[in-house]
A and B are shown apart, each in its own frame.
Chain A
Amino acid sequence: MAASEKVDVAIVGAGASASVFASVLARAGKKVVMLEQGPDWRESDLISSEIWGRRLKVVNPAILEGKDRLGYAYNAGWGSGGAATHYFAMFPRLLPSDFNMKSAYGRGLDWPFSYDDLAPFYDRVAQDIGISGDAKAEERWRPPGQPYPMPPIKTFRHGDVWLKGFEALGIKTARATTAINSQEYKGRPACIYDGWCNAGCPIGALANPTTTYLAEARKHGAEVKPFSTVTRVLTNEKGDRVTGIEYYDRAKQRQVQEASVVILSAFVSQNPRILLNSATDRHPNGLANANGLVGRYVMAHTGATIWGMFDEPDLQNYMGVLAPMHWSYDRYDKTARPGVFGSILWHCSPAIKPNDIGGIANSRNDLFGQALVDFIKRGSRQLSRLQAFGEELPNPDNRVELASEKDEFGFPLARINHAYDQDAVGVWSQGCDEGLKIAKAAGARESWALRASPPTIHMVGGTAMGKSAADSVANGYGQTHEIPNLWIGGVTLFPTEGAVNPSYTMYAVSLRAAEHLAANWNTIAG
């Protein structure tokens, strides 16, 4: 075993949330080390290919179980930037009703703060990383805020073609908000609409963390240690302070990184797993887990996915970005659908390539042989996708636990159990019904919904934040209730998920937390 020089802050992971913490704390003069399990990606590594883009995704580290197993590897990231190196940069906000569901509806959990508390940080993030959108149009559905620094991204016919359908059903739409440059911003170029966003954006037009907060963190001295597999957080004898992190380096040698503050900013399986694997005599259930809530309330989004084949000869569906051009919160009201509870967000449409999960071929998994060849040829110019993310409510039985199987270092793997409840399935199913009506009204020659089972898109939860130590793992800044210098960052803190991509909210929550930590450093770091 070797012990590295003690640092102010050791961060587990080098993804989006970790990068925000590292940026804020390094700028505040703190010595920051980020321990990343995967490679340290650079822009020159980001090859424009669905196939090569798979390198940015994790090799599944968990045992996946349950009726609706999580699509873990597709959603998670591997290497610096984390999942945000392959995200689509679709940046919707949560709405005020997402923050107080338990108080307002008796469903789910309350956040420990309100939309109004977070709103200034949404606006700050927009300026920090560059967001393109039409705030005024969005304010039809949310409280007013600052304008976005860039106008919305360009639209293409494969997105515009759906608008007639929305209009026919009385659904108002707005140009979507994206973390993609519609014009040059802070020295980063405008997007050139090649549709390779999920392979990482090597020109920096899309706000991958490696070109925004992580670049800022490095500039101020933060260090990324790639190929570092964190196994445990270490505590003092009394168990009331963390002292550092145990990890295995690239050579698979055990190392200890001592730190004044530890921040867990890994993903949904690993934050809970590390806490549970860090059990001691003082913390027999794992760190921050006296109430048994570590690992619980894991959530995903369903996706009502509608495909339409149009007669127009060339929708330019191979152009654009992976984020949508248009969206609608018009059906977001959690009680808008009969008999079920939960929000949906409509959006259309991404650039599509022939292969991979979101590709042309996968839109008709039933076809093979010459029929598949013919379909891919037709779809390469005439196919488009409409989708509604659907909300899942937090359920304590959807959880991360330790499995009996162990990793190469002898630590139990995570086992994740996940099943959608009747509300989530109902919201998804009604979304499919409505989407087919939109497609018909839009004039699609053929349209179909993928109804085999609801997909699991995005993943959040597992270390829920809340106001009380009795019913949550951490407070509203991600500081664990049990150990003041052990913090959690990222989407695992979300008590509920709304029906929106989590990235924008994750950035805002992380920025709010990191600035609180920096401002109260002496009290927290000791």
Chain B
Amino acid sequence: MVEVQRRALVQGAVLAALSFTIGGKELWLSPREAKALGAPASVLKPDEVETLEAVGETLLPGAREAGIANFVDNQLAVPPGDCLLMARIANVRPPFANFYRAALGAIERSCEGLHNKRFAQLAAAEQHDFADRLRQNKIEGWQGPPPPFIYFLLRHDAVDVTFGTVEGIEGLGIPYMPHIAPEKRW
């Protein structure tokens, strides 16, 4: 009889945490830990991080603290073949940073035009309304990647970091049951 010890296989796991650099030191962290420790972005600019976190939080409450910006930024810094973003399997052509810059920039330009404010500065109801218009492709004067596709990808990123992790799934009250677990429980 071949015995399969589910948890025993975890011992053979390859390293699955992400590498973040904080204060000159390389640390293996989950995106949530990286966010909590204030890991700086390496690809996205501060205003892009701010927009991504605000949009992510609007699409899925909890995404900001789960580290959506840390996750996306980290994955934009790796070679396309190593990238774990939904963009990879949604046929975005690399470099994926080009898509994120274009998407986040278009959101900001649109918000400035419509509200004379950055997305992060909008009231919660205005952010919700903007996201709904993004989803339905109903933003006048839009210039950038197709809004529903931006909604689709950023929403997926938010779900990934919030509910696609070990702690996210177990937080729903259902077992994760890995053969080989991601390290650092994400």
- List residues of A whose CB falls within 8 A of some B CB: 38-39, 44-52, 54-55, 57, 59-60, 64, 69, 71-74, 78, 184, 187-190, 192, 194-196, 201-203, 205, 318-319, 353-357, 359, 361-362, 365-366, 368-370, 372-373, 376-377, 380-381
Contacts and interface: CB of A to CB of B under 8 A. Distances in A.
B175 A318 contact: yes
Contacts of A202: 9, 179-180
Interface size class, chain B = 35 or more
Contacts of B155: 361, 365, 368, 372
Nearest to A360: B163
Contact of A54 (B62, B84, B180): B84
Contacts of A188: 2
Contacts of B178: 47-49, 194, 196
Given A73-B90, A355-B163, A368 B59 contact: yes
Nearest to B136: A366
Contacts of A45: 14
A203 B4 CA distance: 7
Contact of B131 (A39, A74, A205, A368): A368
Interface in B129-186: 131-132, 135, 151-152, 155-156, 159-160, 163-165, 168-169, 172-182
Contacts of B160: 50-51, 355-356
A73 B163 contact: no
A52 B93 contact: no
Judged by DSSP, the binding face of A is loop
B11 to A, nearest CB: 10
A74 B151 CA distance: 18
Interface hub of A45, A48, A54, A381 (most chain B Cβ within 10 A): A48
Contacts, number: 162
Given A373-B62, A380-B172, A60 B84 contact: no
Interface hub of A39, A73, A201, A354 (most chain B Cβ within 10 A): A354
Contact of A372 (B2, B60, B177, B179): B60
A73 B91 contact: yes
B114 interface: no
Interface in B80-122: 80-86, 88-94
A365 to B, nearest CB: 7
A49 B164 contact: yes
Interface string B57-85: 01111100000000000000000111111
B24 interface: no
A368 B163 CA distance: 14
Given A48-B177, A69-B91, 15 more contacts: A46-B179, A47-B14, A59-B83, A73-B90, A74-B89, A184-B2, A190-B2, A202-B9, A318-B175, A353-B169, A354-B164, A354-B168, A359-B164, A376-B159, A377-B172
Given A73-B91, A187-B2, A356 B179 contact: no
B163 A369 contact: no
B182 to A, nearest CB: 5
Contacts of A365: 135, 152, 155
B159 A48 contact: no
B39 interface: no
A369 B91 contact: no
B73 to A, nearest CB: 15
A376 B85 CA distance: 20
B43 interface: no
Contacts of A195: 177
B45 interface: no
